[in-house]
Amino acid sequence: MAGQTALGPFQQQVLYALLRLREKAYGVTIWQELEERTGEALAIGSVYSTLERLERKGFVSSRMGEPTPERGGRAKRYYAITGAGAAALQRSERILTNLKGIPVPGTP
């Protein structure tokens, strides 16, 4: 059970991005939010593969949006964090908090 609900670091980041973006969370906004907050250039494929994994675990739900002209008439897929996803994120935070307390070598 623990293995099923354990979240990787990137999965946690994606879930936090969904929490921040709320109803505006779709591919591009999630991608931009992650790039801005982490300061790293990301590939859209890695974002979608993570979202797919999270959806399969039941941590994320998705729905199709309306197509827009700036996307060439293609529809968006909006994502939202589920109750199970929020619980898994809380659990990950708790684990991290329990493990903290020892100073990282090299830090003042």
Partner 1 sequence: MTIRKPPGPGEPFVRKHTWEVRGKREGWTFIWATEPDAPRTARWQRRGNLLFDQNGAPIGESPPFRAEKLLLLVLSARFGEVLLGDLAERFPWIQESYGNRFARLWYWRQALGAICSCFGLRVTGALSVATVARLARRLLSR
List contacts with partner 1 (CB under 8 A).
26-28, 31, 43-46, 48-49, 52-53, 64, 66-77
Min. distance of Cβ 46 from partner 1 in angstroms? 6
Q: Distance between CA 82 and CA 49 in Å, rounded? A: 18
Nearer CB in complex with partner 1: 68/90: 68
Nearer CB in complex with partner 1: 27/58: 27
Helix (H, G, I), strand (E, B) or coil at 12: helix
Q: Distance between CA 106 and CA 59 in Å, rounded? A: 36
For residue 63, give the H/E element and its range: strand 60-68
Nearer CB in complex with partner 1: 71/94: 71
Min. distance of Cβ 7 from partner 1 in angstroms? 16
Min. distance of Cβ 57 from partner 1 in angstroms? 12
Name the residue type at position 69.
Answer: P
